Structure 1
């Protein structure tokens, strides 16, 4: 299970664009917590730690423990908005979760075992990644940090399929069809023409020679 984030929040008494702008001027940003058959809760959260979490990784897959006036609410960040120019975080939507909740999330893939992959370590092959993450269904409080994909024993021409993945307990793929995750491709061949003349060694044809003689004779006149 991935480690979660902790955050302190305040209940927002006012909503709307004007209130949101005033809030952002104090280095706080508006957010809302919804779901679990409870009414939405408008909150204000500190901009700096929330932004640091956004760039730390796992923003949408790690469980957030949000302290709202002394009450801890567990949630997942489901969506966020950023300023299109400054890219500053503007708003976050959180979904309430419990230990019994199951959610659909995208989990990144981690490719391991390159040293044990003959296609890469001995045959100079190239790993071509088709899918960098997978959509899975998992317990909200047991979302894996990543899913490992082993490259051990693979030769050039091998393909890794979704059906061959070893998923953590309680985690299932949302796509039931078998599909390619990655391939081990042959190295690109470099075409070298040994007989191509150098730039300063362009061969002279009979036609070129004739033109040269004509120019020489013209200069003599």
Structure 2
């Protein structure tokens, strides 16, 4: 399930807009907005240091947080953030209020297990990862940290589809109209070249006129 929650201290902002946001940043804070749960948006300012370490610490967009806004505690899920394109500094964060029945779409990382138990990889096959993350629809308070793909028994040429992955309850792929591929076990480059050469020779032999 989702990682342990954490708490951030914040101040309410009376003014919004680009000028207000610049003023907040000059004071060493990060402008942010809390929205959703059928309530009006709430503009806030957060500690730059706290936001920077949470964003770059991993799992930021999949972890429920509590924001203490001048003594009032609000449960939220980070939905988006903007970084300075040059210095990688946090510029703005959007938070979604999390109620009892809140459901969200969120990208969850994929982990691959038991490569050593894959005959194809043992023979030199290459794990070709099609999706490093998969987007799921799930309750905001039950976001998985990751999903696991078991490579046991996979051979060269095999594909692993989402249907082969055991998902937690109420966690469903956003893509629901097809059994999409997460990864394949591809032939090593040397074997591909040999197969290609063999196919070429076979084709030439078939094309040659009989004597």
Q: Which residue of 1 aligns with 2:59?
A: 58
Q: Distance in 1 between matches of 2:172 and 2:141?
A: 15
User: What TM-score does the superposition give when structure 2 sets the normalisation length?
Assistant: 0.85
Q: Please give the per-residue CA displacement for 1:43-90, whole angstroms capped at 9, x wherever unaligned.
A: 110111111111111111111111112221111111212222222111
Q: Which residue of 2 aligns with 1:102?
A: 103
Q: Point out where structure 2 has 5 or more consecutive residues left out of the alignment.
A: 195-211
Aligned residues of 1:5 and 1:53 also touching (Cα < 8 A): no
Q: Distance in 1 between matches of 2:116 and 2:36?
A: 46
Backbone CA RMSD of aligned residues? 1.6
Superposed structure 1 runs of 4+ greater than 3 Å apart: none
Q: Distance in 2 between matches of 1:66 and 1:161?
A: 38
User: Is 1:140 matched up with 2:140?
Assistant: yes
Aligned residues of 2:75 and 2:98 also touching (Cα < 8 A): yes
Aligned residues of 1:98 and 1:141 also touching (Cα < 8 A): no
User: What TM-score does the superposition give when structure 1 sets the normalisation length?
Assistant: 0.82
Aligned residues of 2:76 and 2:97 also touching (Cα < 8 A): yes
Which of the two has greater helix per residue? 2
Number of positions where the alignment pairs a residue of Structure 1 with one of Structure 2 = 191
Q: Point out where structure 1 has 5 or more consecutive residues left out of the alignment.
A: 193-221
Q: Please give the per-residue CA displacement for 1:81-133, whole angstroms capped at 9, x wherever unaligned.
A: 2222222111111110123211111111011111211211x311110011111
Q: Which residue of 2 aligns with 1:81?
A: 82
Alignment of 1:158-197 (within 5 A): 158-176=158-176, 177-189=178-190
Aligned residues of 2:160 and 2:183 also touching (Cα < 8 A): yes
